[in-house]
Structures are given as structure tokens and as C-alpha cells.
Structure 1
Amino acid sequence: MIQALSNGLARVERAAVRLLVVALPIMILVNVFGRFFKTPIFWLDELAVLMMVWLAMLGLSITLKSRDAVAVTLVTGAVPPTARKTLQVLSDLVVLGFCLALIVLCYRWFNPLLLINSDFNIETFAADSFNYIYQEPTETLGVPKFWFWLILPVVSVTSSVHALANLLRTCRTPGADFVDQPEPRPLAE
């Protein structure tokens, strides 16, 4: 069930990454032409930067899912498969721990319970918590920044699901047959 959830989330993340990869160059090109014709669209620059952050965060989550991150395999290549599996379980636990810690930090940062208890009044929320996350606007868009920062809790949750799925898959693999290969991806990706 966790594996199916992880696969579904990865499909959604890949679709979002594809959309961002197409949208970013278009936004930049539109602004290049705007600057050439002396009518730049300043908010497009800021939106492009924010979208690049989203792209990087979603890419992180996909990388955790597929285990395509850069790795130093000097030790794992020199030990027998059972020890390699133990090292992979430890690595999966560290990644899962990091993702869970990120969830906790995002929860503390966004503080949804205090926001609800403040009746969604951001001035009351800020006065009670000295946290101005919901008040700070973007420079040129004029939109509250928290809408763009929501990618952090989203990615922390999806990364946690991917990390848990990887850990469970590693634990289910027999020690003698263990090879730390990434999960094969369908050709349709």
C-alpha cells in the first residue's frame, strides 16, 4: 500500500516537474523579449525564481523515490550483500528521519493549530507567535510568500512516503539477493 502511494505521488510529482520545465523557459523568454522591447515584466522574473525552487524541491522528492542521488559506494561495494543490505537499511532510516524532521519543522513554522485558534486572523497569529509567515508578500507579485513556501511541507510529506517505501522494499529483499540497485522505472516516464 505504501509502495502504491509512493508510485502515485511520484507520477504526480513527475507531471508537475514536466510542467515546470516547460513553463520556466517560456517565462524567461517572454521576459527577454519584454526587456528587448523596453517593456519588462518584473514579476515574471520573481515567479521564475520561485518556480525553480519548486522544481528543485520536487526533483529532490523524485530523486529520493528513485534512489538516483549521488552516492559514494566505496564501502558498500567492498562488503558482502548482507552487510550491504544493513548499510542500505541504515541509509534509508537516516533519509526517513530527515524527512520526518522536516515535517516537524514545517509544522512548527506554519503552525496551523495556532492559525486555526486565531480564527485565521493573520494579525492575531503574528502577534501571538511573532511569526510573520502569512503576512510577508512577494516583492513584485504582491502575493503572500507562504503560498510558494507550501512546497516545503508538501515535499517533506511526499519524501517521507518515498523514504518509507524504500525502507520497506529494502527490508523485504532477502539479504543474500540484495543489490542496491534503484527500482526499475517504466518506459512511459
Structure 2
Amino acid sequence: MKEFLNIKKEVLSKLESDLPSSLKYHDMSHIMDVYDVCNQYIDRLKLPEQEACELRIGALMHDIGFTQGNSNHEEVGAKMAEEILRKHNVGQHCIESVQGLILATKIPQSPTNELQKILCDADLDYLGRDDYPEISSKLFEELKISNVIQTEEEWKNIQVRFLKAHQFHTDFAKKNREPKKQYWLRMIENS
């Protein structure tokens, strides 16, 4: 898609200027991590150009709704995606695909197609990586700032519940991320 670079530039500019500084987890480093993980899936699966483009746009925009606030950020982000993509003369099919990608990342995740499964797994890829402690501590800080939680004990309970309920969707993540996620769950439970 020839407009991709212009869309990417606009979205990154909006995110950099409008994401609240109180977001310690849902920040540019998270968005770029998800984008990079999606690119790894694109290469590994040799996705066709159109699908790759939709996935990249979905990755860049999956948390854009946070620029308008925390509540229903996926729905807000899906509306924002439509406005931005229409401005760049993107076709309706692509707009609907990107909106579906954004909405699929809402917790609990509910992907209904392969691209959505990839983005959902990319969004939570860190759950099964070595950098889980550092990244989860950023989420803890963000939740404390927003008064969602107050104590380490609350955070521990949330993590245990979340890790137990969470399921990866792609074969890659099931094989390469699930074992480490189970390791982190055991570590938290035994701490």
C-alpha cells in the first residue's frame, strides 16, 4: 500500500504528542515492540503484502485510543483508525480489517481470524519472554498511577489471575512463548 509510510508517520506523530505521560506501559516502547513482533510474524509466515500492511497499521494503531483516555480505548481507537485511514483514501475492506485488529486486542482477547490472532499474541508477547519482569513492572506502575491498584499484593493476584486466564492464539506463541509464561506464573505464585 503506497500510503503506508504516510499513515505510519501520522500515527507515530499523534502517539508521540498525545499519549499521556502517565502511561508507563501503554507507551511508545510498547507500541513499537508490538510492531516489531508483528514484523517478525510477517517475515516468518511470509504474509502477502496487503495482509502485512493491515497488520502493521493495526499494530501501530492498536492503542491509539489511549490518546483520548483509558476507557473503551479499543472502540475509540477503532473510530480514530477509520478517520485516519479515510483521510488517506484507504479502502473499506482495509479499514474494517484494521478496526477488527484493534478491537480484537480488548481483554479478554477475542481474535476471529489469523491477523487478529497474530496481533493479539504480539500485544502480549512479553508474557512469554525474558523481559517480562521489567515490562510487567511498567504496567504495575501505570495501574498504581491510575489508582486501579494500590499494593504489591493486589498486583501479584492480578498477575496470577491474568496469566492463568490468558491463552496464546498462534502456533508460534503456543510453542515459543507459553513455556516461559508458565515459568513466570510459577515464579509469581511462589514469591
Q: Which has the higher contact order (CA 8 A, sep 6+)?
A: 1
> Given the two structures, how large is their TM-score scaled by the length of structure 1?
0.31
> Given the two structures, how large is their TM-score scaled by the length of structure 2?
0.31
Query: Which of these two proteins has the greater Rg computed from alpha carbons?
Result: 1
